[in-house]
Amino acid sequence: MIDKRLYLKAAEGRIVRRQEDGELWPTEGDWAERSQFVRRRLKDGDLVEAQPPKPVKPAADEKK
């Protein structure tokens, strides 16, 4: 099964607006559905696949 979500960021020197709200794509990247818009941006080189940030582990509770 193909994952429907990709973690993407704008390619170097590119400015990409989100289709949904027109906001700029975050420089650190973001998750996106594999839509026609996203596939077209990937093909054109506007967006590139990126590594998602590692989840932050909650600090262990210290008991005194």
Residue pLDDT tens, the chain, 64 long:
567 899 999 999 999 999 999 999 999 999 999 999 999 999 999 999 999 988 877 766 655 5
3-state secondary structure of 48: strand
Nearest to 50 by CA among 25, 26, 30, 34: 30
Task: Quickly count: other Cβ atoms within 10 Å of residue 7's Cβ.
Answer: 13
**Terminal C-alpha separation, the chain:** 48
At 36, give phi and psi (nearest 5°). Answer: -60, -40
pTM exceeding the 0.85 threshold for the entire prediction: no
